[in-house]
Amino acid sequence: MLWVWHAPIAQKLILHTPGAMIAAHAALLLAATAFWGSLLCLTGSSRWHAIPALLLTGKLVCLLAALLVFAPRALYGSADHAAHGLGDQHLAGLLMLAACPLSYLVAALFITVHLIGVDEALRPAPPIQRTAS
């Protein structure tokens, strides 16, 4: 969903159609809520499925952010807006690069640590052997 709304044709629609920005933000909010909600609802042995999902989507978000940061020209807007838009585009990409690893990696690490802790808690304790004295 993030890549769809960042496509040049979608950005043109957002710039020239009233209400399109609200629709884009609402769609992204719904998609993010569904994604994070589905990850938080995983239980038991299926909880590990969250880790590849987080790593894959995190990479896709970071890839878009890197594209915005390292693009040699403004990807969105008109030619007269391009001079001012390049700085905004780079800043938007940098903000995405700051938030992406923090949120996705912290969530993946938290889930991994929780899974390791759950496995340790479910493992039976070794029997205590008494020695004869």
Closest to 59 measured CA to CA, from 3, 109, 111, 112: 3
pLDDT in tens, 16-52: 898 999 999 999 999 999 999 998 888 877 888 898 9
Distance between CA atoms of residues 40 and 51, nearest Å: 12
Q: Kindly report the CA angle at 43 between 97 and 124, in degrees rounded to 5? A: 115
Which residues are CB-contacts of 25 (< 8 A; sequence separation ≥ 6)?
Answer: none
Q: What is the pTM of this model?
A: 0.73
pLDDT in tens, 77-120: 765 555 566 888 899 899 999 998 888 888 888 888 888 876 55
